[in-house]
Structure 1
Amino acid sequence: MTSPLIRQLIEEKGYPLLNEDNFNSFIKDQEFTVLFCTEQAHRFPESNDVAVILPELVKRFPELTPAIVAPEYEKKVQGRYNFTVWPSLVFLKEGRYLGAISKVQDWDIYLAEIPSILALEPRRDPGIGIPVVVNPVQSACGQ
């Protein structure tokens, strides 16, 4: 279950809760999105800290549209954006991946990293997997 601080972001601040049904349409409609992936706050108490920090980051960077990823959809988002540590903030531009910041960071790190992330060119979703490389040179074994 979601912690009271995370529920407050949804219920009082109006941050959308994204799931399989609304995820793709939401992220494509925003210029810059910051996704808050919390996992289970009782297992990862830093999620509560980030729940307090995120509204302050949105005040500092008003171009960001925040959203909470629904607990039942977080593993798919984790696979799509290939972060390994909880909690994570994933930054997107028009639905395309820019970067992520995981765990709680010092305020100065957020202030330095977020502008750098937002200045990046969007790239393909990192996803989990091994890139396929085609070898144009064919050779037979033992030759």
Structure 2
Amino acid sequence: MIHPLIDRLTTELGWPHLEDAESLAAFTTAPGTHVVFVPGDPARNLETPDVAVILPELRMAFQNRFDCAVAGNGIEKTVCELAGAYKTPSLIFFRAGQPIGAIPKVRDWADYMARTTHILAAPAPETAAETA
């Protein structure tokens, strides 16, 4: 069963719930910066509901400079492996389909602000066409 605070992200806020590689690719390759929330198991990880509350506030603090989605159970491992971020809950930032940073676990607000500022300032990742 999904935790009500995670469910709120998709039902009330209308964020996509990414269930497979295709939906992940479509979300992360769209123009702009994207955050995929990897909740992990909220029954085992008591930090997950906290991050589900923090992420919408973080998005507002950055004046919607990124959009957000929730990773479904079927793609959590894939998302974590792409970013090299194996702790959950995690916020994994993408641009041009590539991970540009991650914020694992619960942090204090100042740390979220500093890390997010740093991640958003990262240059766009090179694509395979640019490196060929």
Q: Equivalences for 1:15-30 in 2 at 5 Å? A: 15-20=15-20, 21-30=22-31
User: Where does residue 137 of structure 1 map in the other structure?
Assistant: none
Partner of 2:56: 55
SS at 1:22 equivalent: helix
SS of equivalent to 2:40: coil
1:6 corresponds in structure 2 to 6
Q: TM-score, normalised by structure 1?
A: 0.82
CA deviation profile, 1:44-102 (whole Å, cap 9, x unmatched): 11010000001101101111101100112101111221112110000111222211000
In structure 2, what is the Cα distance between the partners aligned to 1:35 and 1:87? 10
Identity of aligned residues (%): 36
> Distance between the aligned counterparts of 2:105 and 2:66, measured in 1?
19
Name the residue aligned to 2:44.
43
By how many angstroms is 1:36 displaced? 0.2
Corresponding position of 1:76: 78
Specify which structure has the higher proportion of helix.
2
Whose Rg is larger?
1
Letter in 2 for 1:26: F
Asked whether the 8 Å contact 1:30–1:95 carries over to 2, the reply is no
Shift of 1:43: 0.9
Q: Unaligned 5+ residue runs, structure 2?
A: 127-132
User: Residue 34 of structure 2 contacts residue 95 of structure 2 at CA under 8 Å; is this kept in 1?
Assistant: yes
Query: What is the aligned residue count?
Result: 124
